[in-house]
Amino acid sequence: MSKTQSAKARAKKIKLILFDVDGTLTDGKIFVFPAPAGIQQATQEHAAQHGGQGGFALVSQSLIEAKGFHAHDGAAISLARLAGIKTGLITKRISETVALRARDLRLEHVHQGIQDKLTVFEEILRQDGIHGSEAAFVGDDVIDLPVMRNCGFAVAVANARAEVKREAHYVTPHAGGDGALRDAVEFVLKAQGKWKRVVADYIFERSPKRGS
């Protein structure tokens, strides 16, 4: 069986797609801006728990961390939902921007401030009552490897580190922040034979008169 055939066989079993954020859902760049006066950042209490630890969060009421997300990835979440596949993120950094994006996309699982991603991954599997072989993970850096080694379908984005690409079952054509998650979702849905139906349902939801 070729690597592509193996990837498709793995993708056919997927019921849950989880992903990293920085470098996967984004291009990895982090922007820091002065926060508007009076803004309340709901994630600051969570961020403060990691105060003094590098790489977790910006602990400040006067500054805000921003990231850019791709619209194609947002559409991918909707397509996955229509196919009956759950989605969620596991990320080390804590960001109000990510919390807002997660609420906007209605992700089933949102875990920020996570250094030990594998333990959280295993908790999610227990919560959803599924086996590791039924879950996919999309990542870009070595912190993602423990989950990628224990999930059924490991996906590396095009801009992933070389170590991550070597252990992935599939590498997306697009980079993180440029539609990589959409690539992963499309691959899964096409492997499961759901792509055409889901696209038709997606169009009909948004334009019922032209859905056919």
Q: Quick one: average pLDDT of 142-146?
A: 98
Q: Quick one: average pLDDT of 18-35?
A: 93
Contact 163, 44 (CB under 8 A): no
The dihedral through the CA atoms of 76, 82, 85, 86 has a sign that is: positive
Q: How far is CA 37 from CA 57, 62, 74, 99, 100, in A?
A: 20, 8, 29, 20, 19
How confident is residue 52, by pLDDT bands cut at 50, 70 and 90?
Answer: low
Q: Which of 13-22, 45-54, 127-136, 194-203 has the lowest mean pLDDT?
A: 45-54
- Residue with the bigger pLDDT between 212 and 73: it is 73
| Domains of the chain (ranges, CATH numbers) | 3-29+67-210 (3.40.50.1000)
Q: What pLDDT was estimated at residue 211?
A: 45
Query: Which H or E element spans position 85?
Result: none
Cα three-residue angle 93-109-165, rounded to 5 degrees: 60
Task: Detail the DSSP E strand segments found in 74-183.
Answer: 86-90, 109-111, 135-139, 153-156, 170-171
Mean pLDDT across the chain: 91
How confident is residue 24, by pLDDT bands cut at 50, 70 and 90?
Answer: very high
Q: What pLDDT was estimated at residue 36?
A: 73
% residues pLDDT > 70 (the chain): 90
The CA distance from 114 to 56, in Å, is 8
pTM of the model: 0.89
